[in-house]
Structure 1
Amino acid sequence: MKNYLFILFFSLIGFSLFAQNSASVTVNSRATVIDPIKIDKTVDLDFGNVISAYNPGQVILSPDGSRVAYGVQISNSIPGTVNPAEAVVTHGNNNYSISLPEQFTLYNQENPTQVLVIDQFIIQPQEGNVIDIIKIGGTLNLEANQTSGFYTNSSGFNVTVSYN
């Protein structure tokens, strides 16, 4: 019996001498550096000539450049400059989001207390592999008997693009 205990004792000691107290593995690491996202304006947003009315109204400029008027008139014979805004986004085939303001105010150059508000911006991207062209339209809101004149805002509005 002593022999069995002796063998059992040394067997257990032998197993504890060979027990693994730690383990390790080699992990490879990698990184991909991408170019920063970039946006360049190519065309400003122009609603063209609008004829004021006795009632409030709106002009909706689509990203494709078409205009529709509600409550006011637009002249087809003297449309003025009509363009959706346009910008080129360089994104390296990565997903991104576009942010625009809720609204933007234009001021009459002769009488800055007279304003027009642009809201309900509409974005239409023309997607490419590395760059996209985005076109931006919106809704121009006019008051009843809106004062005539040239309305602008030299500060412009921000179009922000961010990687997702």
Structure 2
Amino acid sequence: MEEKKTFTISVYSENNVGLLNRISGIFLKRHINIESLNVSSSEIDHVSRFVIVIYATEDWTKRIVKQIEKQIEVIKAFYHTDEETIYQETALFKIESHLLFDERQIQNIIKESNSQIVTVSRNFFVISKSGRRNEIEELYDQLKPYGIMQFVRSARISVSKEEMQISTMLKQFQEQE
């Protein structure tokens, strides 16, 4: 039986209403949970990029990528393992202000985790941490005993280590028109 692992799927597409719904439906039909989803502009003008993280077998991932590419607005989809990508997430932690001054260990945690204080107010301060998911979870575990007022983590953003031929493909496509 094939081993499940984490895959990052990159989808380059036109930015059309309803595409996200159709793409998420592809995962729903196969009972595959989307672990992380980010949609943003890409390096190509007027082309959006979806970054979707799933935990599945490579066979299922290939099938899903083929189904995604059948969507009219999709230009090209790729999938990569964690070893083939450079990726990060960002998290914000909201904590009571008095702890910053009363608990010396909080300052040590911030420094040792390479986090940044984003803002300080009378009632709370906010820490920002960028890194791999396990680094963010480790910081969460260290701060939890002191009380976290609010916590939010972004979706994964990633770039592949190898060049993706999407720009070359688009140039060729535009030359054919």
TM-score under structure 1 normalisation? 0.25
More helix by share: 2
Which entry has the higher C-alpha Rg, 1 or 2? 1
More strand by share: 1
